[in-house]
Amino acid sequence: MDAKFTKLKNEKVEFLSVAFVTDSDSKLYLELEQPHMANGTGEREENIEVVETDPNGGSFLSKEQARDAILEFIDENYAKYEKPMLITNMSSYCWLALCHLFEKMEIPFHKIPLDFSTMLYMHSIDPDTSKEQLAWHYQIKLEGDRNHALYNTTLLKRLYEKVILGW
């Protein structure tokens, strides 16, 4: 999982965008409406500068639509598991944002997210090493915008497979 956030503080962390990639390479990418958007229409209010996180101009989802899409994605891809494990590079912020997104509902992931940086450290790799540098070292090639959550999630998965699992 990878995400872009509205802010990195421990209160009310919200997703700008979120992406998931399964073991079998099924992908989900969502962009969420932000408070500066007009009445849930997905259109931006005038005179508000917004950094576009989806270079392809995807549609913006409400929190409810995003929750439904995530639940459907999990149901389609993980029906045989109780709850999928979440592997992310920023586990604490991703978890806080998921808690905020799902509010009082049960979160559909295992309650302890796995931190990829710790996995790197356990393999004697400096967690501050850029993921692009690691990808180059392990001969992993990806196309796309490096600032896009889906690109980063796919890169994280490929690095996990190569570095941690040794595939």
**Residue spans per domain, the chain:** 2-164
| End-to-end CA, the chain | 20
What are the C-alpha distances in Å from 156 to residues 55, 86, 100, 107? 20, 12, 23, 22
Q: What is the CATH number of domain 2-164?
A: 3.30.420.10
Phi, psi of 75 (to 5 degrees): -60, -40
pTM for the whole thing? Answer: 0.79
pLDDT, tens digit (0-9, with 9 covering 90-100), for 34-85: 765 544 444 443 432 333 444 445 578 888 999 999 999 999 998 776 789 9
Give the confidence band of 97 by pLDDT, cuts at 50, 70, 90.
confident
> Which residues are 30's β-sheet partners?
18
What percentage of the chain carries pLDDT values higher than 70? 80
Helices (H), the chain: 63-78, 91-102, 116-122, 131-137, 149-159
As a whole number, mean pLDDT of residues 134-153 equals: 88
Strand ranges of the sheet holding 15-21, from the earlier edge strand across to the other edge: 2-5, 15-21, 27-32, 60-61
